């Protein structure tokens, strides 16, 4: 914990202390209906948290909240808080290529913080739920949707706020911006998982624990299928990165170029509020946009002097070569058009087909401006890197000619806003 910033350490201690006090208050004011039901749901909470799946954005997702919601309905605030807290702290999981993580090899402060945020989130949500005069274990709880909806929303806001505040401290980012971004994807997911929790509660209260447990078989099978899908997606991205490395090995001056273009393109896509699927496609296309250079002689790629007409034509052939290479790779079919068009110009004077205007996908224009900016601000075999201000002025001048005017404008605005934000944070620090 010593390696963390002081304000992060203080925040972690505050959350753990708050959860400890809140836990004592729960023990003094509430009870658990039966020890057998408590142990059953504690095991289910542990099981679901141990089966968390790592999403591409780095967030581990489980259906543990479905069990938490069930315990809230079946066991009340104390049972729900304790099951969620200890289920999280005792989990035995592997969400990446690392060794399995468990309470024995996880730093104590992480274990306590994770348990604390679970206890606070579901505990407070449970108190809100029972403030509507609902009864513990009511088999017809679902007839009154207002307490359920309010409790789910309470859980979501508290849980997201606790975690977002920690990450905003660690990454020195705006809490408000991070909270809004997090809530946008957690809100729909939370209500889907909550629906699952309501269904589990109905099974338990109307048909008993054995019927409820039978439901977890298909649930775990669905989790396994989803995990296999994500594993295939990870393998797909590893293949993309390997192809990128093969391109950059031919030209030392472009080392890291594709990755930087991908990062710029993703930031611009997010700035434009594009759907996540389109952003993923743009990212993959950016990583592979120069794959066609594999088919061009090293003597041309690394030539220090001016290229002759033949050499220029060879360089201009790399988008078409790239598409030919990727034609045999079925899972890359969505990125081929973007790669093919990334050197087309808005005015129709680009290559390879002199397309322009709306004939070129907007995603390709995003890739084009990111590629041009990184190329101008990086060293090449035939010139030194250009000053950032000069590169930005060229993009502004070429808006409506080389670059899509709207996308060029958004790109410049994005970089300006990022610079203003960085300057503001530097002054604050």
- The answer as to CATH 1.10.3210.10 being correct for domain 232-428 is yes
Residue-wise pLDDT for 301-343, tens only, equals: 777 778 888 888 888 898 999 888 888 777 777 889 999 999 9
Q: Domain spans of the chain?
A: 6-207, 232-428
pLDDT grade, residue 382 (50/70/90)? low
pTM for this predicted structure: 0.67
Q: What is the pLDDT of residue 215?
A: 84
Provide the pLDDT for residue 59.
59
What pLDDT score was predicted for residue 312?
86
* pLDDT single digits (tens) 231-244: 777 777 777 778 77
Determine the pLDDT at residue 220.
Answer: 79
Residue 269 has pLDDT above 80, yes or no: yes
Q: How many CB atoms lie within 10 A of CB 99?
A: 8
**What's the confidence (pLDDT) of residue 60?**
64
Fold entry, domain 6-207: Arp2/3 complex 21 kDa subunit ARPC3 (1.10.1760)
The two three-digit tokens of residue 410, written as one number: 């958004």
pLDDT digit string, tens, across residues 138-195: 999 999 999 999 999 999 999 999 999 998 998 887 888 888 878 887 888 788 888 9
What's the pLDDT score for residue 428? 44
Round the average pLDDT of the chain to a whole number and report it: 87
Kindly report which listed range (33-42, 92-101, 200-209) carries the lowest average pLDDT score: 92-101
């Amino acid at each position: 914990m010593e390696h963390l910033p002081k304000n992060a350490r203080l925040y972690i201690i505050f959350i753990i202390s708050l959860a400890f006090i809140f836990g004592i208050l729960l023990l003094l004011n509430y009870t658990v209906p039966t020890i057998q039901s408590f142990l059953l749901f504690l095991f289910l909470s542990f099981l679901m948290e141990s089966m968390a799946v790592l999403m591409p954005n780095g967030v581990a997702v489980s259906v543990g909240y479905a069990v938490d919601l069930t315990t809230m309905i079946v066991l009340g605030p104390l049972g729900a808080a304790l099951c969620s807290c200890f289920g999280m702290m005792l989990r035995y999981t592997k969400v990446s290529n690392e060794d399995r993580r468990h309470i024995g090899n996880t730093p104590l402060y992480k274990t306590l913080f994770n348990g604390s945020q679970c206890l606070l989130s579901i505990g407070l949500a449970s108190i809100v739920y029972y403030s509507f005069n609902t009864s513990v274990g009511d088999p017809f709880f679902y007839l009154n949707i207002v307490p359920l909806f309010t409790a789910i929303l309470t859980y979501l806001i508290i849980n997201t706020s606790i975690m977002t505040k920690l990450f905003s401290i660690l990454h020195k980012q705006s809490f408000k911006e991070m909270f809004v971004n997090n809530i946008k994807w957690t809100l729909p997911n939370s209500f889907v998982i909550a629906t699952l929790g309501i269904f589990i509660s109905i099974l338990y209260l109307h048909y008993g624990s054995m019927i409820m447990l039978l439901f977890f078989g298909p649930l775990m099978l669905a989790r396994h299928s989803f995990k296999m899908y994500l594993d295939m997606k990870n393998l797909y991205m590893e293949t993309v990165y390997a192809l990128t490395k093969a391109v950059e090995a031919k030209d030392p001056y472009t080392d890291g170029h594709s990755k930087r273009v991908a990062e710029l393109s993703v930031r611009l896509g997010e700035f434009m509020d594009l759907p996540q699927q389109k952003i993923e496609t743009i990212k993959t296309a950016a990583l592979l946009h120069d794959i066609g250079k594999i088919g061009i002689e090293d003597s041309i790629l690394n030539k220090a002097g001016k290229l002759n007409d033949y050499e220029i034509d060879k360089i201009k052939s790399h988008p078409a070569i790239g598409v030919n290479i990727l034609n045999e790779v079925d899972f890359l079919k969505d990125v081929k058009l973007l790669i093919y068009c990334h050197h087309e110009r808005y005015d129709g004077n680009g290559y390879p087909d002199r397309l322009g205007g709306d004939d070129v996908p907007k995603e390709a224009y995003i890739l084009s401006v990111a590629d041009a900016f990184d190329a101008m601000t990086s060293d090449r075999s035939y010139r030194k890197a250009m000053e950032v201000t000069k590169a930005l002025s060229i993009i502004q001048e070429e808006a409506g000619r080389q670059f899509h005017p709207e996308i060029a404008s958004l790109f410049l605005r994005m970089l300006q806003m990022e610079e203003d934000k960085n300057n503001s944070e530097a002054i604050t620090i």
